[in-house]
């Protein structure tokens, strides 16, 4: 079939890492460029926006013949629950600052801990998702 859930999701996650980094650069060359920040936010919207609906479809496909609404509700609850747990952690991490490339004057910058946490979460998600390989039961039933 034409179900490319995994390939598209992995591409979106991998490319989003590039655009997460500028969000935490607080000083020096890149941290003072609002254009870089705006472009990064727009690209993150383009790349991360489709991940949830694509994976809602994937969840429904994998758990077929279960109830579509129940599957998507569990996914939504899980995402909101994880977000609620991470908010205080990210709040503390935002107060931490690390210097990147201190010996390269043009590229030297500071990065906040919350962005490092976001990048770590994104990387762990990518690694986990690489190993995900469930059968697409609905597609098989439909003959796709």
Averaged over 23-39, what is the pLDDT? 72
Look at residue 16 in the predicted model and tell me its pLDDT: 96
107 closest CA partner among 20, 8, 33: 33
Look at residue 50 in the predicted model and tell me its pLDDT: 94
Averaged over 39-59, what is the pLDDT? 93
Q: How far apart are the first and last CA of the chain?
A: 5
pLDDT in tens, 63-85: 999 999 999 999 999 999 999 99
In the block, residue with structure tokens 């590039």: 18
Q: Angle CA(9)–CA(12)–CA(15) in degrees, nearest 5?
A: 145
pLDDT in tens, 86-108: 999 999 998 998 887 788 877 67
Q: How confident is the model at residue 135 (pLDDT cuts 50, 70, 90)?
A: very high
What is residue 111's three-state secondary structure? strand
């Amino acid at each position: 079939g034409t179900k490319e859930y995994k390939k598209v999701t992995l591409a979106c996650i991998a490319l989003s890492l590039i655009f997460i980094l500028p969000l935490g650069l607080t000083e020096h060359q890149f941290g003072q460029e609002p254009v870089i920040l705006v472009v990064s936010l727009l690209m993150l919207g383009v790349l991360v926006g489709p991940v949830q609906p694509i994976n809602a479809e994937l969840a429904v496909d994998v758990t077929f013949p279960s109830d579509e609404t129940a599957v998507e509700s569990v996914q939504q609850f899980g995402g909101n629950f994880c977000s609620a747990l991470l908010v205080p952690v990210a709040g503390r991490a935002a107060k931490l600052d690390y210097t990147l490339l201190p010996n390269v004057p043009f590229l030297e910058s500071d990065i906040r801990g919350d962005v490092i946490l976001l990048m770590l979460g994104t990387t762990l998600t990518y690694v986990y998702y690489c190993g995900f390989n469930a059968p697409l039961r609905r597609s098989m039933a439909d003959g796709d």
